[in-house]
Structure 1
């Protein structure tokens, strides 16, 4: 905050007292009032900034707490699915869990069925278990991502999440931002994101995004799902 210049003193015994008095009321008092108003506005701006920072910190703490609670739930889910057997052609009851020899991911049978198509290529009968994505708190500003993980970005500064350079069909990466910035980045690592081989700026603060690698005739790309 700029220093406020004090009002000048007036010497009543000075022969220029009348002129000094006119200058005091016509010049110095208005100048002093402008300085006071400027200082008041600076204080208000500082209060608003402090309130916004406190709000961002509160939101980040709430997200981190929710992430911790979700991680506990995910751990239980993963533990329950850890014993999922390898999928082989055969008959399966609805709710059965098997892991694919192609993607190494766990899938759950949607309905009773008999089939010979790998779960990763049979969405009619199988659903990938996304709930098993472990949450990974990330405090660094450069985060190399691995498929199958949900990254919670905790750094206060803008953060870059680097997608896997060689994704496989069905790979999923999730990210949650907590720093309130609109300048976090998902680096494409040379692979298209939504069909474009460019880094993607997360220009919405405090968001969760999930990307899946889709392989299709003519183009393979990360897509928001």
Structure 2
């Protein structure tokens, strides 16, 4: 994303200059201020927009990272109470699942797609995190 460059002043007046040159330099300097102000405002808007994109992408990366970590650190499934978002791995197929809601689980997650979301392959979360990091790096 290109960011507007604020133009430099053509010449900054110096008190050491002769009066006629100083006066002309001041006039030139003052005439350039409005363009610099407009460019500065444009630059600020672009930087703020970029910051919003960074925040959005950082949130997506954090979400992908959390999904990846929860899958890697999942406990072995056992019958019992689970909260929305809990991750477990199935002893029947070795895959990782996330609870869709708060409920009492009596079926192995591999046999209960109504209550469990299959997170596999876990590598997808890592791939998505890598993709988002590359998008972020390319744009900023």
Bin for the TM-score computed over the shorter chain: 0.3 to 0.5
Q: Greater relative contact order: 1 or 2 (C-alpha under 8 angstroms, separation 6 or more)? A: 2
Greater helix content? 2
TM-score (norm: length of structure 1):
0.30
